[in-house]
Amino acid sequence: MATAEEGFMKKLAVYATLAVLAHAVIVVWHLFVLAKIPPGLTGQQLLSAAIAINVVPLVGLAFLWTYYPRLASVLIFIPLAAGFSAGGFEHFQSDGPDNVFRMAATEWTLPFTISAVLLAVLELCGCWLCILMFGKSRSGQFQD
């Protein structure tokens, strides 16, 4: 019989899975939109960035569902925290052209802003879920 803590850990795993998968989709959309804003990205740059940003959290999900929640939480946390830090600075604090408050108005400005905000929210939520999973996980907790 599953305990309340095991049920809580399963819920955290489901929420983390949803956060990582949604993050992967929004990253691809964000990069697509970024390619439309001059100077834009090449197809090779888009593919490289999408793979680099998404592969480690997706590997973390595999570990999460194969009973390694602590390792999974680290593998998911690090890239999401790095993305939150870098994206948060680049898109909300810097004086650069990718700052959502200073961008030149184009048809892609609103989608870019929405994707940047969604990424920040998903990265923050994903990091929080990883912290909870890391702190609460014990060996064998995901086993039925």
Q: Parse the chain into domains and list their residue ranges.
A: 4-136
Q: What is the pLDDT of residues 99-142, one digit of tens each?
A: 999 988 889 999 999 999 999 999 999 999 999 999 887 644 45
Residue 42: pLDDT band by 50, 70, 90 thresholds? confident
Q: What average pLDDT score do residues 36-61 get? A: 89
Q: What average pLDDT score do residues 61-77 get? A: 93
For 134, other C-beta atoms within 10 Å of its C-beta total 16
Using alpha carbons, list the distances in angstroms from residue 80 to 20, 51, 92, 139.
Answer: 9, 14, 17, 24
Residue 2: pLDDT band by 50, 70, 90 thresholds? low
Nearest by Cα to 21 from 70, 60, 49: 60
Model pLDDT, residue 144: 37
Q: Is the pLDDT of residue 61 over 60?
A: yes
What integer best gives the mean pLDDT of the chain?
Answer: 89
- How many whole angstroms separate alpha carbon 58 and alpha carbon 68? 14
